[in-house]
Amino acid sequence: MLNAKVLLVEDNDVNQLVASAILEQWAIKPIIARDGTEAIDKWREHQPDIILMDCQMPIMDGYEASRQIRANEPAQKRVPIIALTANSMHGDREKCFSAGMDDYLTKPFKEEDIYKMLQKWLDKTADTAEAESAMSANAETDTPFMNETTLDNLRQFLNEEKLSLLLARYIDDSANLIQQLQVALEMDNQAEARRLAHSLKSTSANVGALPLSELAKDVEGLARDGDLKQIRSSLPELGQCFAQTQMAIESMEIMRKRKTG
């Protein structure tokens, strides 16, 4: 597994950083693509051993990219494509499989799940039990706006500098997503509102901002149903939760060190 070529297709910077950090702890430097068209180009150029494919991306989504790869690859060189999805409903799984994907990982990313997926599809014989025993199973302890278990998991493969960088990037990205969501609502753009809420849900879950992730999930559902009026009513609560999440992050010791350092 250490020599595997992994193509990571992910348009969101925070999710990309988290997934890359997990892979790099096993000496895997992922090949990065930010959308489906770039994924197809990188697949042709690098011939990866496995593809981790985000489903919802601009320009070309992961479903269409997977269909095009399947249509153009040699039958004897079928690359495993693993869907990265924030949804786990039956219909979403079927959509992944019908597009030619082989398996799926649900966001937020979990170290042990990615490891098992690589082991499964790269057909290696590494001692999975030994690897799993090295992964801590801390009891879940929540703070009001940040989940300590998620943060502890991130600390397993990110040093203080990288974790503080990730959290700072998350704050900036989330602020931009909420601002863009407001613009989408002003333009009555249902599809864009849903995409932005989905992205906020996913990145928030990945860093442990679970209350904000849950609110974003509700907004995504409202956008799916076309209820933009209700989303507008929900925006103050979403903004307040983000502000409190930002305060919780900035009060962390590693973030204070980042400012004073």
Q: What is the pLDDT of residues 92-105, one digit of tens each?
A: 778 888 899 999 89
Inter-axis angle of helices 13-24 and 190-207, to 10 degrees?
Answer: 40
Could you tell me which of 49, 57, 59, 58 has the C-alpha nearest to residue 79? 49
The upper half-sphere exposure of residue 100, i.e. CA atoms within 13 Å in the direction of its Cβ, equals 18
The type of residue at 62 is G
In percent, the amount of the chain with pLDDT more than 90 equals: 61
Of 90-94, 178-182, 211-215, 254-258, minimum mean pLDDT range: 90-94
pLDDT score at 260: 66
Full set of structural domains in the chain with CATH: 6-135 (3.40.50.2300), 160-260 (1.20.120)
Report CA torsion sign: 155, 160, 166, 168. Answer: positive
> Residue 89: is its pLDDT beyond 90?
no
Prediction pTM value: 0.67
Distance CA 53, CA 11 (A): 10
CB proximity list for 45: less than 8 A, separation 6 or greater: none
pLDDT score at 175: 94
Name the strand (E) or helix (H) holding 156: none
Distance CA 72, CA 56 (A): 22
Mean pLDDT, rounded, of the chain: 86
Band of pLDDT at residue 127, cut at 50, 70 and 90:
very low
pLDDT score at 42: 97
Q: Across residues 178-191, what is the average pLDDT?
A: 94
pLDDT score at 82: 96
CB proximity list for 214: less than 8 A, separation 6 or greater: none
Contact 50, 82 (CB under 8 A): yes
